[in-house]
A and B are shown apart, each in its own frame.
Chain A
Amino acid sequence: MKKHLSMLAGGVAAAAFAAGAAQAESVKIGYMATFSGPPGVLGEHNRDGFQLGIEHLGGTLGDLDVEIIEADDQLKPDVGKQIIDRYLQSDRVDFVVGIIFSNVMMAVYEDVVGSETFLISTNAGPSPIAGESCSEYFFSTSWQNDQLHGAAGLQAVNDGVESAFLIAPNYQAGRDAMAGFKREFEGHGTIAGEILTQINQPDYSAEIAQIAAAGADAVFIFLPGGMGVNFVKQYASSGIDLPLYSGSTVDGTTLPAIGEEMMGGYSSPNFWAPDMDTPVNQRFMADFEERFGYIPSVYAAQGYDAAALIDSAIRAVDGDLSNKEGMRDAMRQADFESIRGDFQFGNNHFPVQDWYAGEVVSDDQGRATIALGDMVAEDFQDAYHQDCAMQW
């Protein structure tokens, strides 16, 4: 109740003074991602991208100084919730940015948007947020979870794959991945077999032997992080050479370990790759490696765009951070130079963008990297946007 009163008082005060008087001098951002454990590499890439985004804007967002409060959710929803409480109650941040994993996102989502604080997801995109629980305070600079797998399905259809073998870990995201692939693939081809594996399974020899026996002509895997590295290495030495389609598996974070094995093969489909031909991306690629010492992955690109999105919002309201409606309307326009080129936001504030196949190639220094391949889906929109009541 106290909080509401003070907010009301703030509103009255803002109304009483002229619009210019409410202008803040700095913008406070709570950046939370997963930095610990094996998936910590995703958080690192994402954070570095976000940081470079701010640096490219002259160290400011919408000409305001930036104060970033960084935290590690440790991939634990309860830890994430505590951090978010601190962001909202004591730090009083203007934006919450980051969040790599959907389970952490689901734990904190209602708290953030319920407090009318903007939440910019730089990775996680669980289906409820794209559908019935969508909010005007939420924006994504990445994608809705299913789209990766849907794009892989479309890619297999385009290649004329007739029967596919599916492997994913036995948990919600794994089952969703299979559903996402099938949604686009079934009707064009058949499923030769599907296996749900244990989470963090080290050895896939038993599954690989079953692929050989099933008589499929392609394999789809959703095995993020170390699981995918395990699978790809073992697959490469198994003697099976069916094309490998994947979601969230062969990307910039795993290529240093499996580049040799995947050379000439497909990466997981995406909306961005290091060789993307946009002016913003050329600048990003030129500076990123020099600044951080590694080839950026798509997670870095997603972080980078979050900075530009926030910049466009603050700029549109001339730094008046209390004008949330104004910032929301500005962000809906996606009116900034995106690293991925032109895109729009759908009614649920998830990007509607082109998806491409990727190919694993070696760069001029002989390292494995991803080159943009054929477009597999133009203006690809997620499958849940009809369930979102928000229209604008």
Chain B
Amino acid sequence: MSTTLLLIQTLNGLQFGVMLFLMAAGLTLVFGIMNLVNLAHGSLYMMGAYFAAAATAWTGNPLLGILFAIPATLLLGVVVEFITLRTLYQRDHLDQVLCTFGLILFFNELARVLWGSAAIPMAIPEALTGFVTIIPGLIYPKWRLAIILVGLLVALLLYLLISHTRLGMLIRAGASNRPMVGALGVNISLLFTLVFGLGAALAGLAGAMVAPLLSVEPGMGDPILILTFVVIVIGGIGSIRGAFIASLLVGLIDTVGRSFLPALLRELFQTQSANTIGAALASMLIYILMAAVLFFRPRGLFPPKGR
């Protein structure tokens, strides 16, 4: 295996991880602070992609489309929180799962009604099409590089928000001890709406940025949702730092495993079935990682303090 290939796969893993982080950050906050299991997080991601694609078709400019998708998903998140989720905070997780699963079905069907069941197109912003040569012999798509940069930027902003602002302090306090924050006179329901809206906007951003790379179709959020849950469980529920590290870990292990494990098995066994087994094993890697992390640290790598 050449170094170039390894470098490219590392970048690919990084890009995948950063995308997962955008999803996981919102989900882990909602889960950690509001104690709400939100299965519909993938639907917000899907709606972000649809908003971006629809606004792009409208304006003819993908960049405007993506910029439109972020406030649109934020608004959608706030509306969903206000209408359906508010009544569920005091209920147990099973009720929340039932309701948010219903939301998945609702949004998938809504997308089908509004945009049809076939995938719809979405282009890469003009200035970011094509590729850059990072080092001689290593070319990489500009758009994927842009996703990495935006993701890292968002991570930095989130870090500043959580660690250095009053809102962040409340969020951290909420993750550690919810009833106490309420008892201190903080408007918990406003905080919850803000957190949910923030999570929705991040999911929308993730969806909008991958829309030029992925099939924008009903149900596109479902596969990513499972991975996002894996990430927040590994990272520790409620921890942004945990979500960041776990995202990159999952992204890198999944990508590098997928590309090198089958080849490695072929070297070792030299049989036809090495391909099939390698592929199956590669797709299990992150779950093996999750099981291992949970065995040694049952609350994840970076659980919030004081619970």
Binding site for B on A (CB under 8 A): 37-38, 40-41, 44, 170, 175, 194-198, 200-203, 205-207, 209-210, 212-213, 225-230, 233-234, 237-239, 253-254, 256-260
For the complex formed, measure the closest distance between the CB of B116 and the CB atoms of chain A, giving whole angstroms: 8
- Are A257 and B275 in contact, with the CB atoms below 8 A? no
For the complex formed, measure the closest distance between the CB of B206 and the CB atoms of chain A, giving whole angstroms: 11
Given A170-B279, A197-B279, is A205 in contact with B2 using a C-beta cutoff of 8 Å?
A: no
- Are B120 and A256 in contact, with the CB atoms below 8 A? yes
Given A170-B280, A210-B5, A257-B216, is A202 in contact with B119 using a C-beta cutoff of 8 Å?
A: no
- Are A195 and B16 in contact, with the CB atoms below 8 A? no
- Are A206 and B129 in contact, with the CB atoms below 8 A? no
- The residue of chain A having its C-beta at the shortest distance from the C-beta of B278 within the complex is A196
- Are A226 and B121 in contact, with the CB atoms below 8 A? no
- Are B219 and A213 in contact, with the CB atoms below 8 A? no
16 A-B residue contacts at CB 8 Å? A38-B119, A38-B217, A41-B117, A194-B275, A202-B210, A202-B220, A202-B223, A209-B5, A209-B8, A209-B12, A230-B215, A233-B215, A238-B141, A253-B118, A257-B120, A258-B119
The answer for the CA separation of A209 and B214 in the assembled complex, in Å, is: 17
Given A209-B8, A226-B217, A256-B121, is A237 in contact with B279 using a C-beta cutoff of 8 Å?
A: no
- Are A229 and B259 in contact, with the CB atoms below 8 A? no
- Are B259 and A210 in contact, with the CB atoms below 8 A? yes
- Are B276 and A41 in contact, with the CB atoms below 8 A? no
For the complex formed, measure the closest distance between the CB of B13 and the CB atoms of chain A, giving whole angstroms: 8
Report the 3 A-B pairs with minimum CB-CB distance, sorted nearest first: A229-B215, A257-B119, A226-B215
Known: A237-B141, A254-B119. 10 other contacts (CB 8 A): A170-B283, A195-B262, A205-B255, A206-B259, A212-B5, A228-B215, A229-B119, A229-B214, A237-B143, A257-B216
* Interface contact tally, CB-CB below 8 A: 122
- Are A206 and B12 in contact, with the CB atoms below 8 A? yes
Binding site for A on B (CB under 8 A): 2, 4-5, 8-9, 12-13, 15-16, 112, 116-121, 123-124, 129-131, 139, 141, 143-144, 210, 212-220, 223-224, 255-256, 258-259, 262, 275-276, 279-280, 283
- Are A233 and B212 in contact, with the CB atoms below 8 A? yes
- Are A170 and B276 in contact, with the CB atoms below 8 A? yes
- Are A200 and B223 in contact, with the CB atoms below 8 A? yes
The answer for the CA separation of A197 and B262 in the assembled complex, in Å, is: 11
- The residue of chain A having its C-beta at the shortest distance from the C-beta of B262 within the complex is A195
- Are A258 and B121 in contact, with the CB atoms below 8 A? yes
In the assembled complex, which residues on chain A have CB atoms less than 8 Å from the CB atom of B217? 38, 226, 229, 257
Given A206-B12, A209-B259, A233-B213, is A196 in contact with B276 using a C-beta cutoff of 8 Å?
A: yes
The answer for the CA separation of A88 and B1 in the assembled complex, in Å, is: 58
The answer for the CA separation of A337 and B12 in the assembled complex, in Å, is: 52
Given A37-B219, A226-B220, A237-B143, is A206 in contact with B255 using a C-beta cutoff of 8 Å?
A: yes
In the assembled complex, which residues on chain A have CB atoms less than 8 Å from the CB atom of B280? 170
The answer for the CA separation of A196 and B5 in the assembled complex, in Å, is: 19
For the complex formed, measure the closest distance between the CB of A173 and the CB atoms of chain B, giving whole angstroms: 14
- The residue of chain A having its C-beta at the shortest distance from the C-beta of B227 within the complex is A202
- Are B119 and A256 in contact, with the CB atoms below 8 A? yes
The answer for the CA separation of A205 and B9 in the assembled complex, in Å, is: 8
In the assembled complex, which residues on chain B have CB atoms less than 8 Å from the CB atom of A227? 215
- Are B118 and A205 in contact, with the CB atoms below 8 A? no
- Are A205 and B131 in contact, with the CB atoms below 8 A? no
In the assembled complex, which residues on chain A have CB atoms less than 8 Å from the CB atom of B117? 38, 40-41, 44
- The residue of chain B having its C-beta at the shortest distance from the C-beta of A213 within the complex is B5
Q: Which among B4, B15, B215, B262 is the interface contact of A205 at CB below 8 angstroms?
A: B15
The answer for the CA separation of A201 and B12 in the assembled complex, in Å, is: 14
In the assembled complex, which residues on chain B have CB atoms less than 8 Å from the CB atom of A253? 118
Scoring A40, A207, A258 by chain B CB atoms within 10 A of each residue's CB, the highest score goes to: A40
Q: Which among A44, A198, A205 is the interface contact of B283 at CB below 8 angstroms?
A: A198
The answer for the CA separation of A198 and B223 in the assembled complex, in Å, is: 11
For the complex formed, measure the closest distance between the CB of A275 and the CB atoms of chain B, giving whole angstroms: 21
In the assembled complex, which residues on chain B have CB atoms less than 8 Å from the CB atom of A175? 276
- Are B214 and A230 in contact, with the CB atoms below 8 A? yes
In the assembled complex, which residues on chain A have CB atoms less than 8 Å from the CB atom of B112? 40
- Are A237 and B262 in contact, with the CB atoms below 8 A? no
The answer for the CA separation of A150 and B245 in the assembled complex, in Å, is: 45
Q: Which among A207, A210, A239 is the interface contact of B139 at CB below 8 angstroms?
A: A239
- Are B213 and A239 in contact, with the CB atoms below 8 A? no
Q: Which among A196, A198, A213, A239 is the interface contact of B141 at CB below 8 angstroms?
A: A239
In the assembled complex, which residues on chain A have CB atoms less than 8 Å from the CB atom of B214? 202-203, 229-230, 233
- Are A207 and B215 in contact, with the CB atoms below 8 A? no
For the complex formed, measure the closest distance between the CB of B8 and the CB atoms of chain A, giving whole angstroms: 4
For the complex formed, measure the closest distance between the CB of A33 and the CB atoms of chain B, giving whole angstroms: 12
For the complex formed, measure the closest distance between the CB of A279 and the CB atoms of chain B, giving whole angstroms: 29
Given A230-B213, A257-B215, is A41 in contact with B118 using a C-beta cutoff of 8 Å?
A: yes
